[in-house]
Amino acid sequence: MDKKIALVTGAARGLGERIARKMHAAGWKVALADVDLELVSAVAASLDASGDTVMALALDVRRKPDFIAACDAVEVRWGGAAALVNNAGQSRVAALMDITPEEFDDVTAINLKGTFLACQVFGKRFAERGYGRIVNIASLAGQNGGTATGAHYAAAKGGVLTLTKVFARELAASGVTVNAISPGPLDLPIVREIVPADKLAATIQNIPVKSLGEPDFIADAVLLLASPEAGAATGACLDINGGLFMR
């Protein structure tokens, strides 16, 4: 069994792309999944034009059949995934009392339901094989209630942390670990796009270490938790937030 085969959701851009690139550079075969097939295909091609060690998959995290199809595709190509990185998500800024029921449902469907479906589908396959690593990308917002994001996003990411514990407990005896990483503000283009420069400067000044987080370090943490040697780590959350949240 090849224990260095992973599927990464939301891999077309941002943190997901950085994670996929890091894993591939570390010798992993990586299935890059995203709702934007054209964009994620370009990323995959930039990693390995031959397609021997990468594959691009269209995946809408709100749809369970998409996860089943992705799981099947990796099994057909490489014999099955050994690790799953639930990175796909969507952050929205909204005033608490202005969030509509539809907006709440949409954000929680992407950030929370998507993680649930992924853990359910891949967790079952991993358990049947007796081995697996699941890494959920949560958020500081799910721990402190969010200060720069909407309540729907913060609530969803809080739910991701709880799901991590629930699935970890359920799958532990089957050789499957489930852990989370909760990043604080990261130095990513999307952050600089959605946060005005003056507000971003103020945000950085409020971070104890006075700097945004490094996405590649988050990717390193994913590699650590996805490794075969990480069998004793499950139900855990790595806080990487520059000191904004300590426990």
Positions marked active-site: 153
- Using CA atoms, how far apart are residues 31 and 57, in angstroms rounded to an integer? 7
127 by Cβ neighbours in 10 Å (0-12 / 13-18 / 19+) ranks as middle
Contact assessment for residue 44 and residue 31, using Cβ atoms and an 8 Å cutoff = no
Distance (Å, rounded) from C-alpha 13 to C-alpha 191? 12
Q: What are the angstrom distances between the C-alpha of 13 and each of 18, 39, 162? A: 8, 8, 26
> Is 91:148 a contact under the CB 8 Å cutoff?
no
Q: Which helix (H) or strand (E) holds 157?
A: helix 151-171
For residue 138, what is the DSSP state? Answer: -
Nearest to 83 by CA among 228, 188, 215: 228
